[in-house]
Amino acid sequence: MRNKKKFSSIINLIVLVVLGSISFFPIYMVVVNSFKSQDQIFNSVLSLPTTFKFSNYTEAFAQINILQALGNSLTVTFIGIIGIVLFGSMAGYKLARTPGKVSNIIFLFFMSSMLIPFHSIMITLTRMANRIGVQGSTVGLGLIYIGLGVSMAIFLSSGFVKTIPKELEEAAKIDGATEIQTFIKIIFPLLSPILVTIGILNLLWIWNDFLLPLLMLTNVNDYTIILSVNTLFGEYNNDWPRILAALVITTIPLVITYIFLQKYILNGIAEGAVKG
């Protein structure tokens, strides 16, 4: 029996090592080749650099004005996530606590919007954004992300609200709390596990999105970090060392975010699993 458990543990370890290596391999390729020259990359893409070329980072940093691009991405991401979490949780709570035909129709309306491919609405969305004056603005882009991402937030938060006992709200109502006060002081903190999940999913989506910023942002000074990196690609020639260096820089904010928030992320996932 012990031998079987030991053998099973060894197999699990081997599987985890193999899967971890597969996941780490693209990261290795990007980071290692970001320190090489163009010739070194073409001669041996898998090997370590013979000499580390740190100038790739300084040149990429200067060429695409990364600080400004990072600021634009942070603005768009912050507006999008805050709006999605706030409006999604409020709407999800109200729909979950107001059963009836009207609520069901509204809920189905939001859910059906999740099934519509973005490519089928992007031309209409671009025209509407231009008419209402939000095209070409990082703030306007963040507002559009709210509209596109709130449906999923409503779906997840409404399901989570149903696991919260109604007695808590009834007790708050007896104590004289209004519905808004009940949501802010009682429901919203209890929704933190699912809100963390919603925030993570939308952070990855908004930060790494390319197509929507390409459609909405017309001024180079308003480009997000992903769009700015795209400007390094030439029509006939690509400077891969600078491109890879820029890609490494774009991932740093996500890595830093995870390092500082990993405790809350893991707790949120664990609590969400228990709640579910």
Predicted confidence pLDDT, tens digits, the chain (276 residues): 566 677 778 888 888 888 888 888 888 888 888 888 888 888 888 888 888 888 888 888 878 888 888 899 999 999 999 999 999 999 999 998 888 888 889 888 888 888 888 888 888 888 888 888 888 889 999 999 999 999 989 988 888 888 888 888 888 888 888 888 888 888 888 888 888 888 888 988 999 899 999 989 988 888 998 888 888 887 667 778 888 888 888 888 888 877 776 666 665 555 544 444
Any domain includes 271: yes
Any domain includes 9: no
- Residue corresponding to tokens 């859910």: 111
Number of domains comprising the chain: 1
Residues found in the chain = 276
What's phi and psi for 116, nearest 5 deg? -85, 120
Any domain includes 24: no
Contact of 217 with 141, CB cutoff 8 Å? yes
Distances (CA, A) of 127 to 7, 130, 204, 219, 224: 61, 5, 26, 17, 21
What's the pLDDT score for residue 89?
92
What's the pLDDT score for residue 274?
44
Residues contacting 125, CB < 8 A, separation 6+ = 144, 215
Distance CA 88, CA 85 (A): 5
Q: CATH no. for residue 178?
A: 1.10.3720.10
Residues contacting 80, CB < 8 A, separation 6+ = 142, 145, 146, 149, 202, 206
Distance CA 207, CA 209 (A): 6
Contact of 136 with 149, CB cutoff 8 Å? no
User: Over the range 15-36, which residues count as b (16 or more CB within 10 Å of their CB) and which as e?
Assistant: eeeeeeeeeeeeeeeeebbbbb
Q: Which domain holds residue 121?
A: 34-275
What's the pLDDT score for residue 104?
87
Any domain includes 266: yes
Any domain includes 178: yes
Any domain includes 57: yes
Distances (CA, A) of 31 to 27, 47, 57, 248: 6, 12, 11, 7
Q: What is the pTM of this model?
A: 0.82
